[in-house]
Amino acid sequence: METNGERIRRGRIEVICGSMFSGKTEELIRRLKRAKFARQSVEIFKPAIDTRYSEADVVSHEGNSIHSMPVESSYSILLLGSDTEVVGIDEAQFFDDNLVQVCNELANQGTRVIVAGLDLDFLGVPFGPIPALCAIADDVTKVHAICVKCGNQAYISHRTVSDNKRVLLGEQHEYEPLCRVCYLESIKKGQDKQTDNTPDQK
Ligand SMILES: [Zn+2]
């Protein structure tokens, strides 16, 4: 479709989800770099909460980084990303639920929105706005880590330290990717340990 020789931009929503260590951010960076090569304007946003590496960079575990902007709320993405052809959003699980509406509006305006985030929290519960984003997305890619116990495809990021706070930002030593079988086994072991030892402090 052309008007005045200019191609009409087609907005869409792409979701890249999976457990930790599954390569979500690498895949996000790969797609954004391709868009840059195609001379499209690209902006990347991440929740201001994620300060694991550097303040202003999306940094993946492979050390492959791309410049990004930390924002406090999803509405900032709508304000700051409206004139951009391709908007990337990393660690999207930590954003508020309005992210769903924000992505929809950007896509309706003709922006290609690529969202990367954890599909499940460490208890196996769908995480933040990710499930709703998967539902409205034009395209969903689920990436997988490898279970550290058996080598099968992992489905969850199991927390190896005892802390029940949902938003605990991942350092490699605090989480391990596990398959369903190994996850259930380690939960069972953890419960057995608790009943063997002193009563639960909670
Ligand atoms: Zn396993």
Domains in the chain: boundaries: 9-143
The catalytic site residues sit at: 91
The helix/strand/coil state of 131 is helix
Q: How far is the CA of 189 from the centre of ligand 1 (A)?
A: 14
Six token digits for residue 125: 């519960």
Q: How far is the CA of 172 from the centre of ligand 1 (A)?
A: 18
More confident residue, 125 or 193: 125
Cα(173)–Cα(150) distance, integer angstroms: 18
Cα(11)–Cα(84) distance, integer angstroms: 11
- Among 144, 182, 167, smallest CA distance to 21 is for 144
Q: What is the pLDDT of residue 183?
A: 95
Cα(162)–Cα(123) distance, integer angstroms: 12
Six token digits for residue 113: 């929105």
DSSP letter, residue 68 = -
Lowest mean pLDDT among 30-44, 48-62, 144-158, 170-184: 48-62
Q: What is the pLDDT of residues 68-99, one digit of tens each?
A: 899 999 999 999 998 999 999 999 999 999 99
At which residue do the structure tokens 């924000």 appear? 102
Stretch 97-106: mean pLDDT: 97
Q: How far is the CA of 34 from the centre of ligand 1 (A)?
A: 34
Stretch 129-146: mean pLDDT: 97
CATH 3.30.70.141 fits 9-143, yes or no: no
Q: Is the pLDDT of residue 166 over 60?
A: no
Region of 107 (left: φ > 0; alpha: ψ -120 to 50; beta: rest) is: alpha
pTM equals 0.84
Q: What is the pLDDT of residues 22-32, one digit of tens each?
A: 999 999 999 99
Q: What is the pLDDT of residue 56?
A: 59
Lowest mean pLDDT among 12-21, 41-50, 76-85: 41-50
Q: How far is the CA of 154 from the centre of ligand 1 (A)?
A: 7
